[in-house]
């Protein structure tokens, strides 16, 4: 049998194999293949059907690309019902990943045997939908209400051992296909015929609260929990109808479209690190503070030998302590053992005072103070101490990468790698292509990013690259609203309501007001022509010494760590408006959000127009993974597309008419709105 599903009948057993690389999604062709395979098995009068997958995947779920189109026959729920009602037992030999529709297929089988490395789950809520082929109704009947609420409501993916403990699989075997041929079928009824689980209102309410904390603003997790709860009250057929209706309604929603957009953008970004480039086996990290220690720890975790450099003996000891704390935390969280942590530190990490006796290295990165001359001095020293083959990288957040690397012997081996703190946790990595960076150097950096399991985003050189450039513009827009009538707590509340994890003033209090203050001084905002300077934040730093949480006060007052609006800050805001001759007015939360997010979008179009980013989706990934833009809104560029670029253009034109110093119309936005293009149709030159 040709196509993505093969059926071989031998000795009274039909072996049905789904072979639809790379991940065996249940595309229409696969669904048609399953129908033909079941027809063949039934016509042959076999005594058993063994269902498995090719490669490392059983079935990885639906083809998300089909979600935007009307459902096409044959439908997966019908195939699953046929498997459950098949005249002979169907046994799932779960050779690898079984997710979404793949697990729903397995649930319909009379027995499930998993390979030790198999993973199972119903993660549909992470794509803005719910299981649509029986998962919310069959899984609770098989493993109970509480575990099903956790797996479905959180979209968790579990290993074979945990699945066996829950009763989701019957056994774990090294060769599930061979065992499936002779495995004794359990005497229980088919999954759909099992009794409904007893109601548990407390467990359901706890799951709802957990979903609200984990996924604020998202619809699908709460809908999924409602469906699992319904399995305790509804007959199977009625529950399946409600589930399918919910799935079909959600799959065309804005949230589902946004989450699919992010999913595919992440896959495209991470695929850049596959193939090409050289393998890194040794590295030098300069600077043992929070960032440098975290980078060194992450590299050592890959098996890379890391030499960590500090300028003096005291710095070396601080660096050693910072790294040791990261290992201690990993032990505490169960990520490693104390013995393994000690061995890794002893064998993969060395600490050096100065550059005199550094070992040769494939790669070197600095993570020192954000000062141009300091960084240039570091690279002069590294260039002299390391072989010509060593790739040199700066971790600058804002500075001109071209200037930082001026003077190195082999400029083609120089680039920027902007890690986000904490570097061993945050998935985003801005890969900054300097004017001289070679394609081979970029390929090696992307390969390293893939090993680190980062989402690498290529960016050109400008102040702040993609993320910090947009962040600077966003904060400036919010500061203007303070001058014109808003207050910090209102701005933060409005943007949290939009879905941001924190408002801009809460974020500044967390990171420290001195960081943004130093950047404003570097940029010369106070004297910059054609720029609307807002003095509020500078006054706070210079006159009050309030730097945020680390000093116990910033934009907010803190009592026992709890933030409350500050009358002092509100007074400074009002004073500065009066000093500028501004008559303050009332802002609604909607207007705050519209202006703040529109400024992100405008800056995003300029970044794309200038070729700093290659794709609108790259801008979205930077803002989601680096700056906590709500994933379920898809990033600012995708969000702009859902609103409609003509409407975005109209809004920005109106803002520019009232404040031409702060707003302008990117030509790329005008062009896209005029031609009916969306953000994904636009390409930058990065």
Q: At what angle do helices 28-44 and 76-84 cross, to 10 degrees?
A: 20
3 state DSSP class of 484: helix
DSSP letter for 262, please. H
Assess whether 104 carries a catalytic annotation: yes
Q: At what angle do helices 338-348 and 290-300 cross, to 10 degrees?
A: 100
Q: What are the Cα distances from residue 93, in Å, to 4, 61, 125, 670?
A: 17, 16, 25, 55
Q: Do strands 428-432 and 414-419 pair parallel, antiparallel, or not at all (unpaired)? A: antiparallel
- Which residues make beta-bridge pairs with 171? 113
* Burial of residue 127, with CB atoms counted within 10 A of its CB: 0-12 exposed, 13-18 middle, 19 or more buried: buried
- Looking up tokens 């794509």 gives 127
d(CA 62, CA 102): 8
Contacts of 447 (CB under 8 A, 6+ apart): 273, 276, 277, 278, 279, 280
In 432-448, which positions are buried (b, 16+ CB within 10 angstroms) versus exposed (e)? bbbebbbeebbbbbbbb
d(CA 64, CA 258): 12
- CB count within 10 Å of CB 452 equals 21
d(CA 185, CA 122): 24
Q: What are the structure tokens assigned to 226, written together?
A: 């409602």
d(CA 615, CA 610): 12
Q: Do strands 556-559 and 455-459 pair parallel, antiparallel, or not at all (unpaired)? A: unpaired
Ramachandran angles phi, psi of 617, nearest 5°: -65, -30
Q: What are the structure tokens assigned to 349, written together?
A: 């990490």
593 within 8 A of 496, measured Cβ to Cβ: no
Assess whether 529 carries a catalytic annotation: no
* Burial of residue 65, with CB atoms counted within 10 A of its CB: 0-12 exposed, 13-18 middle, 19 or more buried: exposed
d(CA 136, CA 224): 7
Q: Give me the catalytic one of 42, 66, 84, 104.
A: 104
d(CA 474, CA 253): 27
> What is the DSSP annotation of 130-149?
---SSHHHHHHHHH-HHHHH
Q: Give me the catalytic one of 66, 84, 124, 610.
A: 124
d(CA 349, CA 451): 18
- Which residues make beta-bridge pairs with 459? 432, 613
Please, where are the H alpha helices in 45-155? 76-84, 101-108, 135-143, 145-154
Q: Which residues are catalytic?
A: 104, 124
């Amino acid at each position: 049998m040709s196509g993505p599903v093969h059926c071989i009948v031998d000795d009274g057993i039909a072996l049905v194999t789904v072979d639809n690389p790379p991940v065996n999604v249940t595309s229409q062709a696969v669904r048609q293949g399953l129908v033909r395979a079941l027809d063949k098995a039934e016509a042959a009068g076999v005594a058993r059907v063994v269902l498995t997958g090719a490669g490392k995947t059983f079935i990885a779920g639906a083809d998300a690309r089909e979600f935007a189109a009307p459902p096409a026959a044959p439908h997966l729920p019908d195939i699953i019902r046929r498997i459950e009602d098949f005249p002979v037992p169907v046994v799932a030999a779960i050779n690898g990943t079984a997710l979404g529709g793949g697990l729903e297929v397995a649930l319909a089988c009379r027995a499930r045997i998993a390979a030790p490395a198999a993973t199972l789950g119903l993660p549909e809520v992470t794509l803005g939908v719910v299981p649509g082929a029986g998962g919310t109704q069959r899984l609770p009947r098989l493993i109970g209400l509480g575990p099903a609420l956790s797996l479905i409501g959180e979209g968790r993916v579990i290993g074979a051992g945990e699945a066996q403990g829950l009763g989701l699989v019957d056994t774990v075997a090294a060769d599930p296909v061979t065992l499936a041929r002779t495995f004794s079928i359990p005497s229980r009824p088919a999954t759909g015929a099992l009794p409904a689980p007893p109601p548990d209102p407390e467990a359901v309410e706890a799951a709802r609260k957990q979903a609200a904390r984990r996924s604020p603003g998202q619809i699908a997790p709460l809908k999924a929990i409602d469906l699992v709860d319904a399995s305790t009250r509804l007959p199977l057929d009625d529950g399946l109808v409600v589930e399918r209706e919910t799935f079909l309604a959600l799959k065309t929603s804005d949230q589902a479209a946004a989450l699919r957009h992010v999913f595919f953008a992440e896959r495209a970004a991470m695929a850049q690190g596959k193939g090409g480039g050289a393998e890194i086996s040794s590295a030098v990290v300069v600077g043992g503070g929070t960032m440098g220690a975290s980078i060194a720890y992450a590299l050592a975790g890959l098996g890379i030998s890391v030499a960590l450099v500090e300028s003096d003996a005291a710095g070396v000891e601080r660096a050693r302590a910072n790294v040791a704390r990261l290992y201690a935390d990993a032990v505490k969280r169960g990520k490693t053992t104390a013995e393994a942590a000690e061995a890794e530190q002893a064998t993969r990490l060395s600490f050096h005072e100065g550059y005199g006796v550094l070992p040769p290295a494939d790669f070197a990165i600095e993570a020192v103070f954000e000062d141009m001359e300091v960084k240039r001095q570091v690279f002069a020293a590294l260039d002299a101490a390391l072989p010509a083959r060593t790739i040199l990288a700066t971790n600058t957040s804002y500075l001109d990468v071209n200037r930082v690397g001026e003077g190195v012997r082999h400029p083609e081996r120089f680039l920027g790698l902007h890690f986000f703190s904490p570097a061993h946790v945050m998935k985003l990595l801005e890969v900054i292509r300097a004017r001289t960076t070679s394609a081979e150097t970029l390929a090696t950096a992307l390969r390293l990013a893939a090993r680190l399991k980062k989402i690498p985003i290529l960016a050109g050189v400008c102040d702040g690259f993609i993320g910090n450039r947009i962040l600077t513009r966003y904060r400036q827009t919010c500061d203007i609203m303070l001058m014109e009538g808003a207050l910090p707590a209102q701005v933060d509340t409005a943007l949290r309501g939009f879905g941001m994890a924190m408002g801009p003033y809460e974020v500044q209090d967390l990171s420290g007001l001195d960081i943004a203050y130093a950047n404003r001084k570097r940029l010369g905002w106070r004297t910059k022509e054609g720029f609307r300077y807002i003095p509020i934040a500078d006054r706070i730093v210079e006159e009050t010494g309030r730097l945020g949480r680390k000093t116990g006060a910033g934009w907010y007052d803190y009592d026992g760590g709890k933030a409350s609006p500050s009358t002092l800050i509100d007074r400074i805001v009002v004073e500065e408006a009066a000093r500028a001759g501004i008559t303050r007015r009332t802002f609604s939360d909607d207007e705050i959000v519209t202006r703040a997010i529109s400024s992100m979008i405008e800056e995003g179009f300029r970044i794309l127009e200038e070729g700093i980013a290659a794709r609108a989706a790259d801008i979205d990934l930077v803002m989601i993974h680096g700056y906590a833009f709500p994933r379920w809104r898809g990033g600012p560029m995708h969000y702009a597309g859902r609103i409609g670029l003509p409407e975005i253009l109209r809004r920005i034109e109106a803002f520019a008419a009232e404040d031409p110093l702060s707003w302008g119309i990117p030509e790329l936005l005008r062009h896209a709105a005029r031609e009916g293009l969306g953000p994904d149709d636009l390409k930058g030159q990065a």
